[in-house]
Amino acid sequence: MRVLDVGGGIEDRLPERYEGWERLRLDIDPTCKPDICMDARELPIDGQKFDVVYCAHNLEHFHRHDALKVLKGFVQSLTDDGYAHILVPDVGEVMRQFVYGRMDMESILGESPAGPIAVHDVIYGWGAQIEHTGEEFYAHKTGFTLSMLRRMLTAAGFKVMESCENKSQFEIEVFAYLKESPCPSLPHNPQR
CATH class (in words) of the domain with range 2-89+143-177: alpha beta
Query: Which comes out higher in pLDDT, residue 165 or 53?
Result: 53
Across residues 131-154, what is the average pLDDT?
89
Of the pLDDT bands very low, low, confident and very high (cuts 50, 70, 90), residue 191 is: very low
Average pLDDT, the chain: 88
How far CA 188 is from CA of 18, 87, 108, 130, in Å, comes to 10, 14, 32, 34
Q: Where are the domains of the chain?
A: 2-89+143-177
Give pTM, 2 decimals.
0.88
Report pLDDT for 167: 59
More confident residue, 167 or 40: 40
Tens digits of per-residue pLDDT, 81-127?
999 999 999 999 999 989 998 999 999 988 877 788 899 988 988 87
Q: What pLDDT, on a 0 to 100 scale, did the predictor assign at position 186?
A: 47
Confidence at 180, pLDDT banded by 50, 70, 90:
confident
Which pLDDT score is estimated for 27?
A: 93
Return the percentage of the chain with pLDDT > 70, whole number. 91
> Residue range 138-155: average pLDDT?
94
pLDDT of residue 9: 73
